[in-house]
Amino acid sequence: MKANGITIDDTFAEAFGMSATGVIVTADSPKWARQAAVTMSGFGTSVIGCGVEVGIDRELEPDETPDGRPGVRVLLFGFSPDALLPQLKNRVGQCVLTSPGSACYAGVESKTRIALGAGPRFFGDGYQTAKLLGKKKYWRVPVMDGEFVIEETTGVVTEAVGGGNVILLGNDRAGLLEATELAVAAIGKVPDVITPFPGGIVRSGSKVGAKYDGMIASTNDAFCPTLRGAVKSELAPDTVSVLEIVIDGLTSQAVANAMKTAIDTIIKEGWGKGVTRISAGNYGGKLGQHHYHLRELLP
């Protein structure tokens, strides 16, 4: 298939069921809300190596947050609610509690709840107090710039999806990166999804396994331009760079929406920037429960 000069592979992205939770981080200014959110999202690219995949869903206007201050919604994806729990506790405790003027609230609403403030409240050393408003309980932890307010629990969902992806190939390395950044920015407007890798972009796509014992994943040699000719390459002679956008979403539909948005953006903006081809990563369809066929996502 071709659209606006760009080849679209007749393939699909293969994604996996995951559990997810989220928080809303607020602060006195958008700058400091974002700072706390970015800090708690650090080292949260791949569930394999980081234990959890974390990213910013979107920035929130003051009228969207529980305390009427600027906020950011952060989503976390893991293998199970139990796996999310220590990650959430550590990241909130070390990165949000410590950030000036911050407060932290539930970012996902569901019947199933996991602890949010139940751990960090003990930082108050007995001086913390609780406030129950309706069905929500908030902890007020005294800190050196006032009080850290944190909700007792947040919601967790087990129907989330991790590993939706789009692979972009180009004949201009700088242009491809520029086009991919545009696609990531467009995904930023899609609700309930994150792109957990640096700036939303992966340059080191992997294949399953390796020649070395103990390595569960290694470089995707078929998509490495510098190996063309030396391996069974998937790349055309003019391809000099390949970048991937990995997408996690609270629902399968959210992931599909994000992939469609990325593809739309690349088809509109990509050709002039050197994008030659759009593809997707899969494992033959045998590992992941969710398949997103590119032809079904075309505009």
Contact flag: residue 68 with other proteins (CB under 8 A): yes
What lies within 8 Å, CB to CB, of 115 at 6+ separation is 85, 88, 89, 152, 153
Total binding residues toward other proteins, as defined by CB under 8 A: 18
- Nearest to other proteins of 20, 97 (CB atom): 97
Q: Say how far apart CA 140 and CA 146 lie, in whole Å.
A: 10
Contact flag: residue 147 with other proteins (CB under 8 A): yes
Contact flag: residue 32 with other proteins (CB under 8 A): no
Contact flag: residue 133 with other proteins (CB under 8 A): yes
Q: Which stretch binds other proteins (CB under 8 A): 9-17, 65-73, 173-181, 242-250?
A: 65-73
Within 10 Å of residue 154's Cβ, how many Cβ atoms?
A: 26
Q: Which stretch binds other proteins (CB under 8 A): 92-100, 144-152, 179-187, 280-288?
A: 144-152
Q: Say how far apart CA 294 and CA 299 lie, in whole Å.
A: 10
Which one among 73, 91, 121, 140 touches other proteins, defined by CB under 8 A?
140
| Cβ pair 169, 27 in contact under 8 A | no
Describe the chain by its helix, strand, coil percentages, rounded to 5.
30, 35, 35
Contact flag: residue 129 with other proteins (CB under 8 A): yes
Which one among 10, 111, 125, 132 touches other proteins, defined by CB under 8 A?
132
Q: How far is the CB of 142 from other proteins (least distance, A)?
A: 10
The 8-class DSSP code of residue 99 comes to: S
Within 10 Å of residue 145's Cβ, how many Cβ atoms?
A: 10
Q: How far is the CB of 84 from other proteins (least distance, A)?
A: 24
Which one among 32, 138, 197, 292 touches other proteins, defined by CB under 8 A?
138
Nearest partner of 42 among 196, 263, 210, judged by Cα: 196
Residues that bind other proteins (CB under 8 A): 26, 66-69, 103, 129-134, 136, 138, 140, 146-147, 149
